[in-house]
């Protein structure tokens, strides 16, 4: 059985993951509107992954006889200054999710909830990968600056990304 503090924190994280999904769908729409369908597709995959993350937490709360409390999702940004800016915003967002997961892990430590810590380890590892992937895209965009052919090539490369369900998804 989950302690109330942990159940509440997990529900807050479910909401954060759903907000992330909504944010990434908004970023996908922005990229498509900018004529960058590959980048749009990349963010669509991010959208699906964030939904998976929420579902993993959802399933975990249920498996521990907890109560899932789905909350309204706040509005997300819909405009950015540039393609680079949308990816920079994505990196800042991933860093905030990393911080949120770390705080949740610290709470489970304080509450001696080792089962939840074990489940959260996957999220910790996932966040390292998420931040690294977005940073690489930012580095590439910074390297090519406004070179149209370079942006075209990055768009084509990002468009090759395919969705794969998150591994602990039940």
Give CA separation, 132 vs 42, 56, 98, in Å: 15, 22, 12
Q: Is 121 annotated as a binding residue?
A: no
Q: 44 with 37: CB under 8 angstroms?
A: no
All structural domains of the chain, each given as residue ranges with its CATH number in brackets, are 4-158 (1.20.1260.10)
CA atoms of 46 and 108, how far apart (whole Å): 27
Tell me the average pLDDT of the chain: 96
pLDDT digits (tens, 9 = 90+) for 25-75: 999 999 999 999 999 999 999 999 999 999 999 999 999 999 999 999 999
Q: What percent of the chain has pLDDT over 70?
A: 99
Q: Is 88 annotated as a binding residue?
A: no
Distance of CA 18 to the CA centre of its chain: 9
pLDDT above 80 for 169: no
Q: Is 17 annotated as a binding residue?
A: yes
Predicted pLDDT of residue 166: 84
Q: Give residues with Cβ within 8 angstroms of 74, minimum separation 6.
A: 19
Q: Is 111 annotated as a binding residue?
A: no
Quote the DSSP letter at residue 82: S
pLDDT above 90 for 168: no
């Amino acid at each position: 059985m989950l302690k109330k503090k942990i159940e509440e924190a997990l529900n807050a994280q479910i909401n954060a993951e759903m907000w992330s999904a909504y944010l990434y769908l908004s970023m996908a729409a922005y990229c498509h509107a900018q004529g960058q369908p590959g980048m749009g597709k990349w963010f669509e995959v991010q959208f699906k992954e964030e939904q998976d993350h929420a579902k993993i937490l959802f399933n975990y709360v249920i498996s521990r006889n907890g109560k899932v409390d789905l909350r309204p999702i706040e509005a997300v940004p819909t405009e950015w200054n540039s393609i680079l800016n949308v990816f920079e915003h994505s990196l800042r967002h991933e860093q905030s999710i990393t911080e949120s997961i770390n705080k949740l892990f610290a709470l489970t430590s304080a509450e001696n909830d080792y089962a939840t810590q074990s489940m959260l380890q996957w999220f910790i590892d996932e966040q390292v990968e998420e931040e690294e992937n977005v940073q690489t895209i930012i580095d590439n965009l910074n390297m090519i600056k406004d070179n149209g052919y370079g942006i075209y090539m990055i768009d084509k490369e990002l468009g090759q990304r395919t969705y794969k369900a998150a591994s602990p998804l039940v």
